Amino acid sequence: MSQEPFFMETDLFCFPPAKEPKLLGPIVLAYIGDAIYEVFIRQYVISMANQRPNHLHRLSTQYVSARAQAKNLQRLMPLLTEEEADIVKRGRNAKSGTSAKNADILEYRHSTAFECLLGYLYYTKQLERLQYIMMQTIEPNQQDAK
């Protein structure tokens, strides 16, 4: 497995949001945050030795589930800046109009808050911070593997 995480110093895609990131709704931020985290986790599991598709999917779902994201947010809270904590609060309190399939409402709201934070960091181009936050979600599992 690669020791140094893959990091892009330029925009990944060329479509900026229609509004300033601070003006985007928390559900919109969570929508892009979900996609960013999914790609991050897929790259992470593909960096491992066992690349059978079924194995990749099962491993990925351990990270991208509402329950896992809620747990990660709880662990990350002491590391967040005041601005990030405010974004998390906006995401947690947002009414999404959908419900979780495999999580309770509290886990679902915390998962949305986590995704909202990632979306905010992505759209405000705080890419080093975004990578740091996402790396924190896999660090405990990397240590368990050693």
C-alpha–C-alpha distance, residues 116 and 47, integer Å:
26
C-alpha–C-alpha distance, residues 47 and 5, integer Å:
10
According to the model, what pLDDT value does residue 146 have?
A: 37
Tell me the two tokens of residue 31: 């929508």
Our CA angle for 96, 113, 103, nearest 5°, is 70
Say if CB 63 and CB 142 are below 8 A apart. no
According to the model, what pLDDT value does residue 140 have?
A: 61
Chunk the chain into consecutive blocks of 10 residues (it has 146) and report each block's average pLDDT, rounded to whole numbers: 49 81 94 97 91 88 94 97 97 78 84 97 96 91 46
Task: Identify whether 11 is a catalytic site residue.
Answer: no
Tell me the two tokens of residue 36: 């960013």
- Tokens 């329950």, residue? 67
According to the model, what pLDDT value does residue 10 have?
A: 55
By C-alpha distance, which of 105, 113, 37, 111 is closest to 71? 111
According to the model, what pLDDT value does residue 49 have?
A: 85
User: Residues 11, 34, 86, 104: which is the catalytic one?
Assistant: 34
According to the model, what pLDDT value does residue 126 have?
A: 96
According to the model, what pLDDT value does residue 141 have?
A: 54
Residue spans of beta strands (DSSP E) within the chain: none
